[in-house]
Amino acid sequence: MKELELKYGCNPNQKPARVFVEAGELPFEVLNGRPGYINLLDALNGWQLVRELREATNLPAAASFKHVSPAGAAVAEPLDDVLKKIYFAEDVELSEQATAYIRARGADRMSSYGDFAILSDECDEPTANYLKREVSDGIIAPAYTSKALEVLKSKRKGNYLVLKVNPDFEPPAVETKKIFGVTFEQQRNAIKISDDCLTDIPTRNKTFTPEACRDLLTALITLKYTQSNSVCYAKGGQAIGIGAGQQSRVHCTRLAGNKADYWFLRQCPKVLELPFKQGVKRPDRDNAIDVYLGGETFDDSWQNLFSVKPEPLTADDKRAWLKNLHGVSLASDAFFPFGDNIERAHQSGVDFIAQTGGSIRDDNVIETCDKYGIAMAFTHIRLFHH
């Protein structure tokens, strides 16, 4: 198929809308549902991300996309009992592909609400069963088992969007887009992210653990498909905080750092032991946890959620728990212009950094890393994505 009519463009008033290729066939087929414009932007950006992440790590990969940026991305590293609990995966069957997606969605469950799921490998039944109970708009994968497809086709009253991508498709080397009647043309960003990006280490600490290398590759490849400016914190083979589309890099670092902090605070005993009533739905739990971590009060609304009113999570509680966060990796899609980014990163347990380098204040950034014993690599690769 060369052309596909869409429901509408970015907004319902933007009709007609379509996608098409000038030569050959579309690199995907619709197995169920009807795609929208933003669905396909998420699907095609996300597919490139997980394909590259799979190649770089040799592990099944997944991403959770919203509005053309990943809310989370991950590879298939095992889940411990605490992560199973905060990802609502205690009672589900786990495959490698399911584990990768559960990690990707769990990075920021608030942002992943209504996501587009992206899988590097065949969608199996465990992954489909987990997806069926979550609020999601669609999925793209290179293949589906017959049982997984049956499960997914039953989601959203039969309207869940299921796309099958051609894993062998390679886009043209030159890409174009039109804005305000003007055609933009550029070479596609086909640069490969690999361990070779992490060899120029200007800091005193020059040691990257294998886990740090995996996490920095995960973060860098995630940033390649995140709206810029952007930074990504990663740990355990997954993004734990993504700051996308900010005009100031330190604001990216703060935004993503706050998300990383929330990810870790969800593992705090006080949060794990919140006395939710039976029957409270997962999105309501996610919202309540976000309110709780933000220090807001529940007023009388707590009675709808909890069997008893929770004890507050104080600022001292948070500081004490966050002191346990270490071994975090941070990547940036361009250079850090000032050491303030490193100061903020240190607050969220960052011990490893990969960034472009090339700022006139590189010396200040290196000095700040050395102050905290952080190992930092200059990748000499800028990853702006617009």
Active site residues: 66-67, 229, 386
| Residue 170 burial (10 A CB sphere; 0-12, 13-18, 19+) | exposed
The CA distance from 72 to 115, in Å, is: 10
E strand residue ranges, 142-277: 161-165, 174-179, 182-187, 230-235, 238-244
Contact (CB, 8 A) for 29 and 7: no
- Which residue in this structure is represented by tokens 């690999």? 194
Apex CA 226: angle with CA 237 and CA 246, to 5°? 115
Helix, strand, coil content of the chain in percent (nearest 5): 40, 20, 40
Give the dihedral sign, CA 58/62/66/72: negative
The CA distance from 167 to 27, in Å, is: 8
N-terminal to C-terminal alpha carbon distance within the chain: 27
What number of residues does the chain have? Answer: 386
CA atoms within 13 A on the CB side of 178: 3
Encode burial over 300-339: b for 16+ CB neighbours within 10 A, e otherwise.
eebeebbeeebeebeeebbeebbeebeebbbbbbbbbbeb
Give the dihedral sign, CA 254/259/260/264: positive
Phi, psi (degrees; rounded to nearest 5) at 72 = -165, 155
- CA dihedral 294→295→296→302, nearest 10 degrees, is 100
